[in-house]
Amino acid sequence: MSSLSRGARTRSRVCIDIGPNSIAGAYVAYPRERPPVLCYDKRVPVIARPGETSHAALVRALDILGEALIREGAPALAQTTGSGSIDEILVSIDSPWESTVVRTEEVGQDTLFTLTKRMVTGILARGHAEKPVDPAYRVEEHVVDIRLNGYQTKNPYGKRARRASLIILTSSIDTALAGAVESTLARYFHASEAVYISGPSLRFQSLRKAFIHERDLLIIDTVGQGVTLSLVRSGTLVVVTEAFAYVDTTTFVAAVLQGLGEITKAYPLPRTLLLLAGEEAAPSLVAGLGSTALGALWLSDKPPRVISVSGTQLPPVTIAPLSLPDIRLMLMAHYQEGP
């Protein structure tokens, strides 16, 4: 791929995807007025050796990934942009390394007020003060939706309202593990502090921009041999289940049904299901869902619509010669923090 280095310097990012059984890394370039470029990516399995803890196995895999990103990835980035330096690091972490909880914070006044980022920061700080964080865990919080006077609002900052509702995703990460990941990344990348976010939060925020007309949906997110369900109602993420383990299509369907059973205790189910899975596994998983009497959970003879998400359904990402179309990394390439 030809260099994009003419004119202003191209912004670039390192994306690190930490799943339960594998980790992946990528260099992404952001040329002006053009789609992001996935310059290089690599996925490494996380397999514990005899007597090795899962944390140690993850850090060892991260070392292997870091070496590959520097040795092979940085030259690929330089070939694309004219520079091997990066501007930021984005780290997505999934269960079992983290747990995600959705909560709502409300603010209301008798008179009109102007919503500001400073006000939102204060609301988050108030939540921390009311519920102190366990020092064994590092908490990362992301506001994924803001409603003013009960209405979902695009670009809410600077707008006036009497009531604001903040949908907040809280990700709790083992402090020792987070420190090990940070120190490992620091050995390979001399950049500012990494931004950490839970995998379900990142993929929800990226997918709702890709499927902007789907206001009610269920995200079936397969990660290695685990599946997490995220329920979206009226464009807002309201539930994220814990990861359920599976080993084949039969146990995958059973895991999905178990998660759906928990969700239906509090919420009705949407008619659209988005499946995030690898290209090889997706057809059999879709077929498994299609052969299941899912309609019974919807109290209908008509089964829900299952959409297997592929790169063609997402905003465009240019895939460089040294990269593969990894759906999770493509979603990371389009992630932008905040509602």
DSSP structure string for 187-249: HH--SSPPEEEEHHHHHHHHHHHHTTT--SEEEEEEETTEEEEEEEETTEEEEEPPPEE-SSH
Q: Judging by DSSP bridges, how do beta strands 272-276 and 305-308 pair with one another?
A: parallel
Residue 48, pLDDT score:
92
Residue 128, pLDDT score:
67
Residue 104, pLDDT score:
84
- Could you tell me the two tokens for 251? 């146990």
Residue 29, pLDDT score:
94
Residue 153, pLDDT score:
78
DSSP state of 50: T
Fold classification of 99-173 is Dna Ligase; domain 1 (3.30.1490)
Question: Are the C-beta atoms of residues 187 and 211 closer than 8 Å to each other?
Answer: no
User: pTM for this one?
Assistant: 0.85
- Tell me the C-alpha to C-alpha distance, in Å, between residue 150 and each of 161, 305, 307: 10, 29, 30
Domain segments of the chain as ranges: 11-96+176-198+314-333, 99-173, 212-309
Residues of the chain with pLDDT under 50: 1, 5
Domains 99-173 and 212-309 share a fold: no
Fold classification of 212-309 is Nucleotidyltransferase; domain 5 (3.30.420)
Report domain 11-96+176-198+314-333's class.
alpha beta
- Backbone phi and psi for residue 207, each to the nearest 5 degrees, phi listed first: -70, -35
Phi-psi region of 7 (alpha: psi -120 to 50; beta: other; left: phi over 0): left
Residues near 5 by beta carbon (within 8 Å), at least 6 away in sequence:
81, 82, 83
pLDDT in tens, 92-106: 998 888 888 888 888
